[in-house]
């Protein structure tokens, strides 16, 4: 549990406060998500839309906007990610039980660029996903958030399968608000503070500029207990609690930490602005810049306990307990390397036998023999207590959107919105207190594995026109086009982070242990072009119908056509029935199609290195051939396709509105991490 202590101050003119109140009431009644009509309320929407006001965010004690959403939107979920690789840096969020890939995020109605992180350890449902970095948005910048809980690919394009999150920025042209929050857990750790401010400025009587800034810092927590294998080492006298601070660089309470990561130097700035060019045209722009450093931990690398030893670092073959030479009927051992190479110079034993009390003590005679021989080496000599890597990244996020919207004197008035935007998210990784085992005694302890960046460029052209067809309302005809290009870049790490050292051929793992470096800088890109038509009308006073169709062509994955039909029927002023049927899609990202990664997995209590390879690579094709040969089909990467059906009702009782909705989503060809393949088996197959 945690507690927080808020402080706030706000200054504004009385007239502004009254106007802001009135505007907030209007905004709560009118939505812009899931409809392109200008007067649609959440209660009259054919699909379920939740509206969370800015004040609801500001009264929340959480320090991250994702955690605030989780407490306000039941269909939205996000978790703290301890020991979850890069997912610790950009936390994957889920909606309606689907992955971050299936949630479209908008800011002011415009598509938000993805984060740079692909979640390799995303808690199962998010494995392989590349979602938006929602934590880059400061809560004080928000006027309201609209959550569309329905499929909307035909309206907004790829990813809108589980739903849409639309973050609407504050647009007040006057006033100043300052907030400071401090919180801590009842355990006495996890101290966090947030300092934020928002200010509005007028541009004469024709425009506004609204600016929000936030500074945030979160101390990590420790909720781990001493593992059984470590307790056995302590009981046997191999290590003591005082050694824990040597094993890791964070706490002396336990050898391995488990809890929320450290978030340091978390700075965010958002700007939103608009200016009337004429009575029928407005120039608008908005954007952001932010950066933060997130640091978490990895699993403890046990040096001696059978079944828990870190493979390819400490764990050697079974050996004769007297000679240290390999013997399949022998005892477990600590791996020994021959620095001159096998068969060159003096010979080394295969492993240092382990026995004694608790079966965790290296044989002292053979350990001394290895230590005395300059040609022989074992990590039990230099890091006898084991170690815990400390992993994290420096994340930088920026975006800018500019556009013009208004009405043209064509017929009853043709509304238009033309915009261009560019956004990027970059993470530069670091890993400390680890090794590249294949480098032996020459290994560094700290590494820079490289980085990755997602960049997206979009151009939108949207039109809205009302046509009188004899219904209660005009038929609202919305149509438009979109061009989108996304780029994914990998940046090479330092040489030691990916080096295949001289001991690799003797069973010592290469690359920085826990998170291997990228050996070279690579780039990948893809683009798409889309056209859509969206129709909506009040057919009668009681019935509203909506239909949409969208055609999108991807440079790497072909084309798709998706549609949607939805409606709402007012049985009475207080009771409404609604339903929707739609198809949807998610095209794999350039990053998902080209990412390479080596990380650590806990498989049945044993830590092993796991690599992720793109299918486009020779190694990826080899693995695919092997999987197909086992009768499991051939892995392929293509668009996800979905069918979304929902119906429900809403009822007003006194001053409360209740909604009940049933939904069913059928998702095919889901983009996710493939099954683990023993690469040696694949090589033997080849």
- Given a cut of 60, whether residue 11 has pLDDT beyond it is no
Q: Which residues of 327-360 are buried (b: 16+ CB within 10 A; e: fewer)?
A: beebbbbbbbbbbeeeeeeeebbbbbbbeeebeb
Cα–Cα distances (Å) from 498 to 421, 436, 504, 522, 623, in that order, read 36, 8, 12, 15, 21
Q: Between 278 and 347, name the one with better pLDDT.
A: 278
pLDDT digits (tens, 9 = 90+) for 393-436: 999 999 999 999 999 988 888 999 999 999 999 999 999 999 99
d(CA 25, CA 460): 30
Provide mean pLDDT across the span 295-314.
92
- Given a cut of 60, whether residue 599 has pLDDT beyond it is no
Share of the chain above pLDDT 90, in %: 63
pLDDT the model gives residue 471: 94
- Given a cut of 70, whether residue 633 has pLDDT beyond it is no
- Ordered by start, the domain boundaries in the chain are 2-223+258-299+389-685, 333-382
Instruction: Band the pLDDT of 6: cuts 50, 70, 90.
Output: very low
- Given a cut of 60, whether residue 608 has pLDDT beyond it is no
- Given a cut of 50, whether residue 207 has pLDDT beyond it is yes
Would you put residue 307 in left (φ > 0), alpha (ψ -120 to 50) or beta? left
Instruction: Band the pLDDT of 266: cuts 50, 70, 90.
Output: very high
pLDDT the model gives residue 21: 43
- Given a cut of 50, whether residue 271 has pLDDT beyond it is yes
- Cross-strand partners of 140: none
SS3 622: helix
Please list the alpha-helical segments (H only) found in 630-678: none
pLDDT digits (tens, 9 = 90+) for 307-344: 889 989 999 999 999 999 999 999 999 999 999 876 66
Could you tell me which of 333, 357, 363, 354 has the C-alpha nearest to residue 236? 357
* E-only strand ranges, 367-389: 376-377
Provide mean pLDDT across the span 112-140.
88
Supply 162's token pair: 């589980």
Average pLDDT taken over every residue of the chain: 87
- Given a cut of 80, whether residue 612 has pLDDT beyond it is no
pLDDT the model gives residue 400: 98
Supply 457's token pair: 């460029």
Selection from 106-115, 178-187, 662-671 with the highest mean pLDDT: 106-115
- Given a cut of 70, whether residue 447 has pLDDT beyond it is yes
pLDDT the model gives residue 20: 40
pLDDT the model gives residue 27: 41
Instruction: Please say whether the beta carbons of 612 and 619 come within 8 A.
Output: no
Could you tell me which of 311, 317, 303, 306 has the C-alpha nearest to residue 355? 306
Instruction: Band the pLDDT of 600: cuts 50, 70, 90.
Output: low
Instruction: Please say whether the beta carbons of 566 and 44 come within 8 A.
Output: no
Supply 679's token pair: 């690469």
Lowest mean pLDDT among 456-465, 635-644, 671-680: 671-680
pLDDT the model gives residue 68: 92
Instruction: Band the pLDDT of 615: cuts 50, 70, 90.
Output: low
Report CA 582 to chain centroid distance, whole Å: 26
* CATH class belonging to 2-223+258-299+389-685: mainly beta
SS3 410: coil
Instruction: Please say whether the beta carbons of 289 and 411 come within 8 A.
Output: no
């Amino acid at each position: 549990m945690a507690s927080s202590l808020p402080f706030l101050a706000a200054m504004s003119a009385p007239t502004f406060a009254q106007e802001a109140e009135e505007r907030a009431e209007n905004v709560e009644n009118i939505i812009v998500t899931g409809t392109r009509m200008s007067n649609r309320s959440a209660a009259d929407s054919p699909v379920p839309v939740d509206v969370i006001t800015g004040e609801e965010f500001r009264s929340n004690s959480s320090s991250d906007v994702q955690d605030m959403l989780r407490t306000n939107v039941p269909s939205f979920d996000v978790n703290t990610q301890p020991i979850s690789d890069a997912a610790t840096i950009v936390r994957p969020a889920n909606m309606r039980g689907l992955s971050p890939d299936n949630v479209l995020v908008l800011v002011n109605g415009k598509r938000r660029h993805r984060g740079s992180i692909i979640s390799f350890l995303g808690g199962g449902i998010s494995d392989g996903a590349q979602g938006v970095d929602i934590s880059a948005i400061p809560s004080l910048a928000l006027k309201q958030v609209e959550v569309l809980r329905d499929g909307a690919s035909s309206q907004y394009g790829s990813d809108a399968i589980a739903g849409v999150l639309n973050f609407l920025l504050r647009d007040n042209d006057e006033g100043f608000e300052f907030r400071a929050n401090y919180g801590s857990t009842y355990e006495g750790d996890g101290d966090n503070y947030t300092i934020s401010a928002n200010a509005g400025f007028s541009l004469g009587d024709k425009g506004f500029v609204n600016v929000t800034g936030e500074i945030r810092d979160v101390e990590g927590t420790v909720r781990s207990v001493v593992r059984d294998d470590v307790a056995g080492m302590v009981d046997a006298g191999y290590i003591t609690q005082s050694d824990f601070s040597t094993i890791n660089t964070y706490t002396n309470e336990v050898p391995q930490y488990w809890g929320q990561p450290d978030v340091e130097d978390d700075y965010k700035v958002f700007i939103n602005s608009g200016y009337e060019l004429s009575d029928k045209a407005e120039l608008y722009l908005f954007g952001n810049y932010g950066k933060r450093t997130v640091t978490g931990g990895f699993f403890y690398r046990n040096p001696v306990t059978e079944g828990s030893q870190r493979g390819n670092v400490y764990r050697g073959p079974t050996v004769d307990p007297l000679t240290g030479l390999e013997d399949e009927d022998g005892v477990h051992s600590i791996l020994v390397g021959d620095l001159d190479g096998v068969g060159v110079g003096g010979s080394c034993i295969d492993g240092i036998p382990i026995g004694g009390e608790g079966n965790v003590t290296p044989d002292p005679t053979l350990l001394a023999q290895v230590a005395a021989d300059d040609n022989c080496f074992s990590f039990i000599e230099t890091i006898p207590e084991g170690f815990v890597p400390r992993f994290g990244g420096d994340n930088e996020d920026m975006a800018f959107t500019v556009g013009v919207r208004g009405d043209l004197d064509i017929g009853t008035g043709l509304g238009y919105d033309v915009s261009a935007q560019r956004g990027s998210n970059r993470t530069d990784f670091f890993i400390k207190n680890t090794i590249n085992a294949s480098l032996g005694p020459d290994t560094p302890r700290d590494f820079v594995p490289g980085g990755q960046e997602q960049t997206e460029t979009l151009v939108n052209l949207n039109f809205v026109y009302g046509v009188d067809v004899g219904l209660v309302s005009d038929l609202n005809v919305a149509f438009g086009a979109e061009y989108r290009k996304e780029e994914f870049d990998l940046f090479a790490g330092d040489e030691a982070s990916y080096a295949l050292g001289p001991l690799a051929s003797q069973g010592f793992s290469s690359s920085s242990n826990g998170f291997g470096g990228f050996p070279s800088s690579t780039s990948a890109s893809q683009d798409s072009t889309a056209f859509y038509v969206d129709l909506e009308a009040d057919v009668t006073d009681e019935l509203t119908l909506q239909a949409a169709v969208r055609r999108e062509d991807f440079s790497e994955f072909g084309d798709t056509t998706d549609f949607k039909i939805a409606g709402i029927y007012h049985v009475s002023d207080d009771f409404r029935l609604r339903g929707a049927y739609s198809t949807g899609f998610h095209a794999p990202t350039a990053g998902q199609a080209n990412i390479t990664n080596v990380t650590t997995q806990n498989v049945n209590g044993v830590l092993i290195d796991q690599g992720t390879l793109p299918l486009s690579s020779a190694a990826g094709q080899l693995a695919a051939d092997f999987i197909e040969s086992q009768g499991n089909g051939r892995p392929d990467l293509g668009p996800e396709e979905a069918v979304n059906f929902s119906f429900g009702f809403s009822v007003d009782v006194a001053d409360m509105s209740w909604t009940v909705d049933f939904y069913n989503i059928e998702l095919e060809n889901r983009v996710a991490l493939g099954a683990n393949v023993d690469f040696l088996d694949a090589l033997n197959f080849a």
